[in-house]
């Protein structure tokens, strides 16, 4: 008798297992162990997970830092949004608010930056397209990632977390120059 048939006795754990069941349980166990040990490997070598930092802040403090950066490094304007060109290796700030990413960042290719993200109002989703960078941007928290652009061009910043009636218009821009 195997577990494929109804148990003759009500003590189910004393029912012997069939060969097929033991084989599939073994395969599942081996696969689980492989996946368990591959997770740290993928994290370090797979470039799939961002190593980021998070700090508590207030919307007013974060906006003051963004405004300070804009005042110091503004090089132009596009559609009423300032274009900021900070020096390589600096801390750069990007804030999400209904329904805009502010400011437009102009970065240098193959130079590293520390990107600070926060929101002034609601939870937003930061998605840098077509690069696979996705983060949750939450008011009261400052997310920090190390960013080294390796391609030049214009990149879209999309809010991928529904944030209200103007969510579909919440687009930003990042420019990477040679």
In tens digits, the chain (178 residues) has pLDDT values of 455 666 566 676 777 788 999 999 999 999 999 999 988 888 777 766 677 888 999 999 999 999 999 999 989 888 889 999 999 889 999 999 988 999 999 999 999 999 999 999 989 999 988 887 888 999 999 999 998 888 999 999 999 889 888 888 899 999 999 8
CB atoms within 10 A of CB 82: 18
Give the predicted TM-score (pTM) of the model.
0.73
d(CA 144, CA 39): 23
d(CA 178, CA 87): 14
d(CA 149, CA 134): 15
């Amino acid at each position: 008798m195997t577990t494929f048939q109804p148990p003759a006795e009500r003590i189910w754990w004393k029912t012997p297992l069939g060969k097929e069941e033991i084989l599939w349980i073994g395969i599942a166990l081996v696969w689980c162990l492989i996946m368990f040990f591959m997770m740290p490997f993928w994290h370090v070598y797979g470039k799939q997970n961002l190593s980021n930092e998070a700090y508590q802040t207030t919307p007013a403090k974060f906006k003051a830092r963004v405004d300070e950066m804009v005042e110091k490094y503004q090089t132009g304007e596009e559609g009423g949004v300032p274009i900021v060109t900070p020096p390589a290796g600096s801390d750069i700030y990007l804030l999400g608010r209904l329904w805009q990413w502010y400011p437009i960042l102009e970065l240098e290719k193959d130079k590293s930056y520390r990107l600070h993200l926060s929101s002034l109002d609601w939870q937003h989703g930061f998605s840098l397209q077509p690069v696979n960078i996705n983060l949750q941007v939450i008011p009261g928290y400052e997310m920090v990632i190390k960013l080294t652009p390796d391609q030049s061009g214009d990149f879209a910043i999309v809010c991928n977390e529904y944030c209200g009636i103007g969510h579909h218009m919440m687009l930003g821009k990042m420019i990477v120059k040679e």
